[in-house]
Chains A and B, each alone.
Chain A
Amino acid sequence: MNNDLAVGAVIALMVIASVSYMLLQRKRGVNSCGCKGCTRCRSQSAVNVTIDDDGDACKDKN
């Protein structure tokens, strides 16, 4: 029996899981390298920018 459908489904699941995780991380302000960055900060290069776990304080402050 042809198992292409099963193989395709496994690949699709892996892609959906990894893309969803990357989007979630992006929403949480975490870079693709796994390190947190001030991606949501409006001040961008401000020197005294502050960051907290969800980036909100940073966003509000600037």
Chain B
Amino acid sequence: MSLTIALAGNPNSGKTTMFNKLTGANQRVGNWPGVTIDRKVGRIRGTDYELVDLPGIYSLSPYSPEEIVSRNFLIEDRPDAVINIVDATNLERNLFLTLQIIDTGIPTVIALNMMDQVRKLGDRIDVEKLSKELGCRVIPVSALNAEGIKELVTAVGEVAEAKLSPEPLYFDGDIETAVTQAEEALRGEVPDETLRFHAVKLIEKDNAVCDSHPDAMNKVSTAVRELERKKDDDADSIIADGRYNRITTITESVVKKAPRDERGTLSDRIDRIVTHRVWGIPIFVGVIAVVFFGIIGFSWGDFKIVGIGTWCTDWVNDVFIGEWIDPAVRAWCESDGEFSSVDALLCSGIVGGVGAVIGFLPQMLLMFLALCILEDIGYMARIAFVMDRVFRHFGLSGKTLIPLLVGTGCGVPGIMASRTIESERDRRITAMTTTFIPCGAKLPVIAMITSAVFPGNGLIAVFCYIMGIILVLVSGIILKKLKSLSGTPAPFIMELPPYHIPSVANILKGTLDRGWAFCKKAGTIILISCIILWFLASYDTGLHYIGDNVGDAQSILAAFGGAVCVIFAPLGWGDNWELTVGTITGLIAKENVIGTFGTLFGIEAGDNGEGLETVLSGMLTKSAGLGFLAFNLICAPCFAAIGAMHRELGRWRDTGMAILYQCLLAYSVALIIYGFTSYIGGWNSLVVDGTLIEQAAPVGSTVAGIVVLAIIIYLLWAKDPFRQLSGRDEYDAEKGMRA
């Protein structure tokens, strides 16, 4: 029999892990709340049951988009049964949602998850008694260890097929009288099976229910007012209080907690250090630094550490591609005694372009691995907590942090994650700024520029992340002064998951998924881009083939790049049209910057024997290189991310304004970097044939940089004309009036 089963529960209660165990799917599991921002559908293995994984929610009140998604599905689509995942280590809070699910009248099975943790803590839960108290089947499970999965599937099948609706949990006297009146008022207006749910929501003055049933609301308004007068509280607080009273009674009778260590759990003790008011941020910077020093390396004067990723990437570039693939392909192409344009396309265009991107795969895999480990042990959630303090200080919502953390993998889901933000203003600002944090596709660009102008210095990667966070803050402060983006920040509440030893399978899956996506991109969009670029760089405007010298100044691409590159002259890289073309092709996919250089410089074809880094260090000074990197990280993201941004912003006009803002900000930051850092010793020199050639001081860029910096500072400090009073302001104003 085909049944639809919903999987519902609190954030971070293990729903996605359970979904994967039940369906055999490979949905990504994250150790922070809010990983599921949409609903996912799969089939329970060995059955006909369709399983719908709903976003994690705390209640069925439509406060946030996740709650709306879950509530609409449960009430409007009415699945045949609900598996309510309950975190057994935190029963009190989880049962608040359970009681509301029971009110919907949908056959429910409680999956008491994380029972392994309960045992570890020495606690005991009387499952039989809990089942009796809640009036529905309760199955102890551990999604992580696949314990109790079979029993859960059997139970949910039995309950759904028998349509065993749980008995609602009744409130105490006065509340229940009001609910009964609401049921009478709603009878006939809503289906009988959801009557109780709607009646309770009507008493709670739930906006959605009140708006759709105004007559019923009028009928019970006297009863609600009477209830509020008697209990001296708001109706929704009275209902919440009623539920918690019931929950307390249940948990007191079924849970026997073992005595706890006064110092708290291990997670509590670690959190006292890593989320410390003072040490939290330095520890965060330190963790990111250690990751990048280990992968890219570190150098300061004569002191040098070679990163594992740099070592592996050098091997892939120099040996695997440089000595094995490239000579083999070239030998095959030249086996007929001539090197035609088709041969050049394969050697310079495809092997050169795609090979340059693939060369960074080892570094990427190690970076993805590090990010996956940090996420899986639970540290990413702590970063959100630590940074929330900073964000709130600048009037920004800490909710912005979840999209930023998701965006470290890819900007598209990062932008989509901004949907979880209730405030329209915060959501739009977040969608516009999420891509400032370097995504996976930007990591190879960071690695390439670092190895070219700051050889083996992981500090540059750390700088890129910190710059991204600072620019999100700066943008938030500036953009909220626009009328369309003004308003008070939404409050941010996030539960910190306990630390746990990372799951090898989860980490490997996360790393390999991202690595595979990187390879697929190289084999698809980057391959096609390289072919087109090779054509544009190998033919002149009269469509005559100009030989294997793909970087020829007579080519179509050179004519175009030469006309456009003047825009970037104040940034220190306007003399090289190849850099301009790389920046533009980065819009297709950010890795394309490298693919473009690989094709244009024909490096892997071995025609000049120089490495990509050597060519770039002869084109970019340290200052211009850092500015080039900053520009490419902040300017308009790839087309996929622009599409995602457009879907969140709604109108092309807004999307266009967002792209313009990103490009202007990127240009300003690159100008400031180039204009100011060129005076640092050795930062304004090119490396040609191993010798440093000092360049003229960019006085014009410095003056322009000072003007731009002054404008940014003015915008930061200018009074916000649309500032709305916060609770604290209102309190102060009221106090002032009383005085």
Q: Which residues of A contact B (CB under 8 A)?
A: 1-4, 7-8, 10-11, 14-15, 18-19, 21-22, 31-35, 37-39, 41, 44-45, 47-53, 57
Contacts and interface: CB of A to CB of B under 8 A. Distances in A.
Contacts, number: 114
Contact of A45 (B441, B517, B650): B650
Given A4-B342, A32-B525, A37-B412, A53 B72 contact: no
A22 B41 contact: no
Given A7-B343, A18-B528, A37-B644, 5 more contacts: A10-B346, A32-B525, A35-B413, A47-B419, A50-B39
B342 A8 contact: yes
Nearest to B637: A33
A29 B411 CA distance: 16
A7 B589 contact: no
Nearest to B526: A18
A53 B639 contact: no
A51 B413 CA distance: 12
A47 B342 contact: no
A3 B589 CA distance: 33
B335 interface: yes
Contacts of B40: 52-53
A31 B345 contact: no
Interface in B341-358: 342-343, 345-346, 350
B346 A4 contact: no
A53 B50 CA distance: 13
B350 A45 contact: no
B595 to A, nearest CB: 13
B584 interface: no
Contact of A18 (B345, B413, B524, B646): B524
B528 A19 contact: yes
A39 B340 CA distance: 42
Contacts of B524: 18, 21-22, 32
Contacts of A31: 412, 640, 643-644
Interface of B, helix, strand, loop or mixed by DSSP: helix
Contacts of A49: 38, 419
B445 interface: no
Interface of B: 38-42, 65, 68-69, 72-73, 332-333, 335-336, 338, 340, 342-343, 345-346, 350, 410-413, 416, 419, 427, 441, 517, 520-521, 523-525, 527-528, 531, 588-589, 638-641, 643-644, 646-650
Most buried by B among A2, A22, A35, A48: A35
Contact of A33 (B343, B350, B441, B528): B441
A3 B338 CA distance: 9
Nearest to B431: A45
A7 B73 CA distance: 54
Contacts of B527: 14-15, 18
Nearest to A5: B342
Contacts of B65: 47-48
B589 A45 contact: no
A40 to B, nearest CB: 11
A34 B38 CA distance: 17
A35 B648 contact: no
A15 B643 contact: no
A15 B528 contact: yes
A34 B336 contact: no
B647 A11 contact: no
Given A44-B647, A50-B39, A33 B412 contact: yes
A18 B526 CA distance: 10
14 contacts: A2-B338, A4-B336, A11-B345, A14-B350, A18-B523, A21-B523, A32-B521, A32-B524, A32-B589, A33-B521, A44-B646, A44-B650, A51-B39, A52-B40
Given A7-B342, A45-B647, A53 B41 contact: yes
A50 B38 contact: yes
A18 B350 CA distance: 13
Contacts of A38: 416, 647
Question: Which 7 pairs, one residue from A and one from B, show the smallest C-beta to C-beta distance?
Answer: A34-B517, A45-B650, A31-B640, A35-B412, A51-B38, A18-B524, A33-B640
Contacts of A50: 38-39, 69, 73
Contact of B640 (A2, A32, A57): A32
A11 B344 CA distance: 11
B336 A22 contact: no
A54 B521 CA distance: 21
Contacts of B343: 4, 7
Contacts of B333: 3, 7
Nearest to A8: B342
A37 B641 CA distance: 10
Given A18-B527, A48-B69, A33 B335 contact: no
A45 B521 contact: no
Contacts of B72: 48
Contacts of B646: 44-45
Most buried by B among A22, A34, A35, A44: A34
Contacts of B350: 11, 14
B587 to A, nearest CB: 11
Contacts of B346: 7, 10-11
Nearest to A51: B38
A34 B332 contact: no
Nearest to B416: A37
Contact of A39 (B411, B413, B517, B643): B643
A22 B521 CA distance: 9
Contacts of B525: 18, 22, 32
Most buried by B among A22, A39, A48: A48
